[in-house]
Amino acid sequence: MRRRSSRPGAFPQCRLVRMAPRAGLMTSALVVGCGLIGASVGMALRDAGWDVFLEDEDPAAVGTAVRRRAGQPWENGVRTEIAVIAVPPRLTAAVLFATQTRNVAQTYTHVASVQSHVQREVEGLSTDLSTIVGGHPLAGRELSGPAAATADLFAGRPWAICAGPQTGGQAVTALRGLVAAVGADAVALTAAAHDAAVAVLSHLPQVTASALAAGLVGAGLQADELRLAGPGLVDTTRLAASDAALWEQILELNAPHVAPVLTDLAARLTSAAAALTSLSDEPSPPQAAAAVAAVRDLLRTGNAGRALVPVKRGVRSEAFAPVRVTVRDEPGRLAALLTDAGLAGVNVEDVHVEHIPGRPTGVIELAVEVGDVIVLTDALRAAGWSVADPD
């Protein structure tokens, strides 16, 4: 059942989409580990109408999660439909097995970034593998801990479901119910396929960003030189700010899948370095041509690889185009601009505000459907706004 109103409800914690508990559907969960992921799972399930119970070896984490309304502390005797083990990857199998031994849930899952290693560990510990199913939500924030948790962390994000050979159908159904309740998209694949994919899509970018950022230490750049940095450096090194203690575990446990792709990447960069070194050393024309061709090949293959990257959330779709407006940087201008856009009957899909340090103006980019660009440009200009010519 969905409740919709013409305007968000009047209660502070009210959310627009709430699933009421229904007979026959799973409606209770135990979350073991109240970090960012565990507390966010609790908040999202609570919003979906579930009863959520919380555990953590740190009582303070449980307390914070309870205050965030992620659930209530687990009490002796409570048995839930599904237990979610949300602890660091190295501890996942042991904590999952200990939880199963207490017989506090019908199904047991976890959220580890590495599936094969955890699955092997679990197979070495448990004698009832039918109620255990691996899971991994592809979601996170640069912050950590229950204070950073949000109920919408998983909305629209993929959630890998990695059933083992002995996982029962009921356990998979149970995890699918949880994934749907938090608004994520279930992606079923084997543990090995998962680990190979995230090695390329997630773990390799992490190592690369760290290695690139590490080069800035000791590079001896002066403050004036660092000012030349642009958004390219900012984007390519963003992941380097990640939690080193967590990533050390992920890379160790997924080493069999990361090592070969990292070896390949290092070889590509070593070849490119050799080509550029030869260009620095007054090469013969054929040597220079070969070196430039090697660099060109890398850049073009990079173009082709980038085209494979699914660019979805947070990045503007091809169907939309920007309308750029220069405005004074003071309260209320953004609201006034969007009100005028609304009066023009144009839906603004996205907004990007660019502040110009030390200047009294900023640029606001409104993303609208391509067919609305001229309409909106004309309407805003008629209302007195300074709008750049459309691209």
Site for its own copies in 97-156 (CB under 8 A): 138-140, 143, 147-148, 150-152, 155-156
Is 24 one of the binding residues for its own copies (CB under 8 A)? no
Q: Site map for its own copies, 301-340, x if CB under 8 A?
A: xxxxxxxxxxxxxxx--------x-xxx-xxx-xx--xx-
* CB distance 172 to 190 below 8 Å: no
CB-neighbour burial class of residue 346 (10 A; exposed 0-12, middle 13-18, buried 19+): buried
3-state secondary structure of 389: coil
- Does 295 bind its own copies (CB under 8 A)? Our answer is yes
289 binds its own copies (CB under 8 A): no
350 near its own copies (CB under 8 A) = yes
Residue 244 structure tokens: 């080193």
Decide whether 23 or 307 has the Cβ nearer to its own copies.
307
The window from 23-31, 119-127, 161-169, 185-193 that contacts its own copies (CB under 8 A) reads 185-193
Cα angle 60, 93, 187 (rounded to 5 degrees) comes to: 95
Does 374 bind its own copies (CB under 8 A)? Our answer is: no
Question: What tokens does 289 get?
Answer: 């041509």
The residues in 60-99 that bind its own copies, with binding defined as CB under 8 A, are 68-69
For position 4 contacting its own copies by CB under 8 A, the verdict is: yes
Of these, 19, 349, 369, 375, which contacts its own copies (CB under 8 A)?
349
Distance from first CA to last CA of the chain, Å, rounded?
Answer: 45
Distance in angstroms (rounded) separating the CA atoms of residues 349 and 353: 14
User: Six-digit token pair at 353?
Assistant: 């505000």
C-alpha atoms less than 13 angstroms from C-alpha of 108 in its C-beta half-sphere: 26
Distance CA 71, CA 45 (A): 9
- Minimum CB distance to its own copies smaller for 23 or for 217: 217
Instruction: Report in angstroms how near the CB of residue 285 gets to its own copies at its nearest.
Output: 13
Which CB atom, from 105 or from 348, has the smaller least distance to its own copies?
348
57 makes contact with its own copies (CB under 8 A): no
Secondary structure tally for the chain: helices H, strands E: 14, 12
286 binds its own copies (CB under 8 A): no
58 binds its own copies (CB under 8 A): no
Asked if 12 touches its own copies (CB under 8 A), the answer is yes
State the nearest-atom distance from the C-beta of 163 to its own copies, in Å. 15
Q: What does the alpha-carbon distance between residue 295 and residue 292 come to, in Å, rounded to a whole number?
A: 5
